[in-house]
């Protein structure tokens, strides 16, 4: 009884934090055994006044990388792929392939430049040349990045004109290119699109019935604050393995429970998932204090996932409008303290 009261007090505190910082989206807390709390506020579409709910399909951005990494471990467990193989086996036209292993790509230590940064920076330069405000320039550059329809073969050509950021395996540098190419490799190995492979091996077994691999399936539209005004982004058209997935809070709770209960992979492979190279990056996870974490951002869509393996508790946040700058750091600080208190309460009972 006392623990339930403490939990309910905690969840009210969390709801209050998000209410005062104008959170716009849904979130949930789950253990390996039960859903502790779910809540939603705001709109999935401000213009139509459609409410954002825990079953609203919305883009999860780079949280997609967790699914890509899990799929690779599943293929490796079936001896269909060797994660120590070099990229040369799959992309011989890339000039640096002989130096880079799939494992280095998974751990973001390949040194391959981030293709999205290259395209975005060029677009931003053009936008700034128009004499726009900095916020407006970033808004237009983001839209132009999403409109870019380059194939992976064309992206490889682009990368061939770029040096590696460092010697492969030497250190960490976040690059979407790694996971975009890994998704294409999953398709080659499995003989089906990476989306179909995810559906067959992850989404269907976990009954993640409202999860898919293209942003076009999003019910929510996204927004960004530009010079104090809320600007619309629509749903975008991303469908790559570095950030194209769409899901719901309800489905992502199932994903966290699957991890906490060590489904889909062996316990050894789940331990491997959370083994971080150069101490920030594992198989789609980073460390944040004593939690594992990953964030996602695509257009104006945001996603954050937190997992405390020792306590077997997780938290998911999906939202389609970031907090205004005055509230952003306040929310982060209060939520960090809140997560610590949640662990304390769960561990003392």
CATH code, domain with 116: 3.40.710.10
DSSP 8-class letter at 323 = P
pTM of the full structure: 0.96
The predicted pLDDT at position 191 comes to 97
The predicted pLDDT at position 279 comes to 81
The tally of domains found in the chain comes to: 1
Of 320, 294, 280, the residue nearest 63 (C-alpha): 294
Could you report the per-residue pLDDT of 29-88, keeping only the tens digit for each?
999 999 999 999 999 999 999 999 999 999 999 999 999 999 999 999 999 999 999 999
The predicted pLDDT at position 236 comes to 81
The predicted pLDDT at position 246 comes to 98
Going from the first residue of the chain to its last (349 residues), give the mean pLDDT of each consecutive group of 10, the final group possibly shorter.
83 94 96 98 98 98 98 98 96 92 97 96 96 95 90 94 95 97 98 97 99 95 94 87 98 99 98 91 95 96 97 98 71 88 89
Domain of residue 234 covers: 1-347
Of 259, 324, 297, the residue nearest 174 (C-alpha): 297
Considering all CA atoms of the chain, what is the largest pairwise distance in Å, rounded to the nearest integer? Answer: 64
Contact (Cβ atoms closer than 8 angstroms) between residue 267 and residue 275: no
Of 318, 306, 315, the residue nearest 28 (C-alpha): 315
Distance, CA of 296 to CA of 300 (rounded, Å): 10
Phi, psi of 314 (to 5 degrees): -140, 160
């Amino acid at each position: 009884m006392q623990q339930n009261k403490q939990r309910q007090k905690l969840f009210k505190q969390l709801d209050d934090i998000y209410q005062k910082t104008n959170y716009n989206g849904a979130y949930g807390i789950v253990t390996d055994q039960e859903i502790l709390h779910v809540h939603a506020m705001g709109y999935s579409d401000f213009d139509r006044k459609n409410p954002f709910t825990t079953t609203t399909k919305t883009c999860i951005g780079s949280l997609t990388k967790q699914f890509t990494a899990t799929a690779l471990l599943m293929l490796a467990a079936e001896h269909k792929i060797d994660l120590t193989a070099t990229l040369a086996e799959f992309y011989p036209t890339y000039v640096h392939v002989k130096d880079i292993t799939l494992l280095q790509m998974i751990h973001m230590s390949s040194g391959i430049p981030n293709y999205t940064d290259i395209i975005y920076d060029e677009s931003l330069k053009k936008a700034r040349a128009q004499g726009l405000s900095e916020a407006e320039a970033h808004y237009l550059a983001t839209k132009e990045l999403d409109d870019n329809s380059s194939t992976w073969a064309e992206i490889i050509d682009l990368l061939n004109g770029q040096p590696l950021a460092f010697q492969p395996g030497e250190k960490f540098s976040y690059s979407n290119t790694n996971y975009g190419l890994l998704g294409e490799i999953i398709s080659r190995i499995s003989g089906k699109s990476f989306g179909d492979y995810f559906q067959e091996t992850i989404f269907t077994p976990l009954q993640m019935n409202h999860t898919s691999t293209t942003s076009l399936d999003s019910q929510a539209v996204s927004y960004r604050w530009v010079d104090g005004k809320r600007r619309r982004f629509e749903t975008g058209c991303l469908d790559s393995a570095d950030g194209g997935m769409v899901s719901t809070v309800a489905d992502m709770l199932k994903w966290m429970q699957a991890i906490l209960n060590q489904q889909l992979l062996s316990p050894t492979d789940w331990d491997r998932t959370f083994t971080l190279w150069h101490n920030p990056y594992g198989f789609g996870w980073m460390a944040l204090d004593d939690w594992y974490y990953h964030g996602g951002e695509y257009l104006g869509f945001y996603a954050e996932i937190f997992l405390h393996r020792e306590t077997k508790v997780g938290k998911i946040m999906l939202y389609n409008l970031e907090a205004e700058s005055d509230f952003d750091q306040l929310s982060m600080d209060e939520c960090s303290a809140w997560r610590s208190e949640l662990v304390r309460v769960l561990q003392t009972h």
